[in-house]
Structure 1
Amino acid sequence: MRKLYILLVLGLFFTGYAVSVQRMETVLAEGKTILLPLAPVDPRALLMGDYMDLRYTVNDRIHDALRKAKAASGTDAGAEGLAVLRVRNEPVPQAADFVRLDDGSPLRNDEFYLAYKLRGHRVITAATAYYFQEGTARHYENARFGQFKVAVNGKTVLVGLCNTEGKLIETQNGGEKKSQ
């Protein structure tokens, strides 16, 4: 009986894992491609070992809107929600910018959702770190955008980092890129 229980738990675990992977693959294949501008960070703290801490300018705009909504209504807007963004193609193609917090009104054709979480005084919308192969840090020093695939529900998958021209940064040896 114990072996059956262990096999059942393992089966459920691997089924859940397979469903999670399939969801990410679907977002990568069908999601809208956008670029989110990276917020300036102290360069000495930017590269730490084999990863880069990521912050986005859109997070500051969402935080400001949440603060204004709280001041106007006297209540918190919520620890989680959706922001509405639009691809403005400024300063580079596919660059997206904040429009408003989701207020229930229908989206325009060029708008889409971006999910956010409020943690303390920090808004989190997408991957907070970018991991890369050891020894390739100098390739990412000029990263200015994060390239994402966005699902209909506002969840994101980080594809990679882009330079000032919006081009995906790739290392000569095609180093592994991972996000968290």
Structure 2
Amino acid sequence: MSHYFRLVQVFSKKQWILIGLILLLQLTIAGYQIGTSESLLNNGKEITLELAPVDPRSMLQGDYVILRYEIAEVNELKNVHSGNKVFILAKEDQHGIYQREKILTSINPRDYQLAQDEVLIAGKYNGYNGIIIGIESYFVKEGTGLDLQRNAKYAKVKVSRTGNSILQSIE
């Protein structure tokens, strides 16, 4: 019990308040991220995207599938620097797959008018061959990555009104 009292005496009241504020800030940030993801899962629009094949093995991480999306593969974008935020305007085709219509570079997604069969997908231009949308890795049960990679054609994705996306499954 005396060790506890020594620890309490080491910190002043101001230091305890600072520690408490730091913990509160960390919990607030974690809660916000969890809430944002849950909101996207509950309220986002489910879409299907076509995949492009990539090698599924990592010596350190085990089996996973690296996903490349057809809509995110682009040639060099003029007047767009590597790391710049972009939005892919995707439209549903006759088979229920969302295809890229165009890439938008300077919009506010909340103000952009979308048709019922359109979505915006936020990403970052990587500077040479595509757009990173943040859902390129999908970890799978050990021993299943290669088979899944060979057979996967589509990804089910939830997309929010502002372009944030969460990968739900691959088929």
Common fold by TM > 0.5: yes
Residue 76 of structure 1 aligns with which residue?
A: 80
Query: Percent identical across equivalent pairs?
Result: 27
Which aligned pairs between 1:11-30 and structure 2 lie closer than 5 A? 11-30=24-43
**RMSD over equivalenced CA pairs, Å:** 2.2
In structure 2, the partner of 1:172 is none
Name 1:140's counterpart in structure 2. Answer: 148
TM-score by length of 2: 0.76
C-alpha distance in 2, partners of 1:10/1:81?
A: 34
Equivalences, count: 147
Aligned: 1:116 with 2:123: yes
- Aligned partner of 1:112: which letter? V
Q: Which has the higher contact order (CA 8 A, sep 6+)?
A: 2
Structure-2 residue corresponding to 1:47: 57
Q: State the alpha-carbon separation in 2 of the partners of residues 107 and 77 from structure 1.
A: 26
Aligned to 1:125: 133
Shift of 1:89: 4.3
User: Residue 36 of structure 2 aligns to which amino acid in structure 1?
Assistant: R
2-structure distance, mates of 1:58, 1:5: 47
CA distance in 1 between counterparts of 2:147 and 2:94 reads 24
SS at match of 1:108: coil
- State the Cα distance separating 1:59 from its structure 2 match: 0.9
Normalising by the residue count of structure 1, what TM-score does the alignment of the two structures yield?
0.72
3-state secondary structure, aligned to 1:50: strand
Work out which of the two has the higher radius of gyration on C-alpha atoms and give 1 or 2: 2
Unmatched segments (≥5 aa) in structure 2: 1-13
Q: State the 4+ residue runs in structure 1 displaced beyond 4 angstroms.
A: none
1:36 aligns with 2:35: no
Q: Structure 1 residues 56, 85: CA separation in 2 closer, same or farther (over 3 Å shift)?
A: same
Aligned to 2:22: 9
User: How far apart, CA to CA, are the structure 2 residues paired with 1:77 and 1:111?
Assistant: 26
Number of the residue aligned with 2:9: none
**TM superposition shift of 1:159:** 0.7
Q: Could you say what secondary structure the match of 1:106 adopts? A: coil
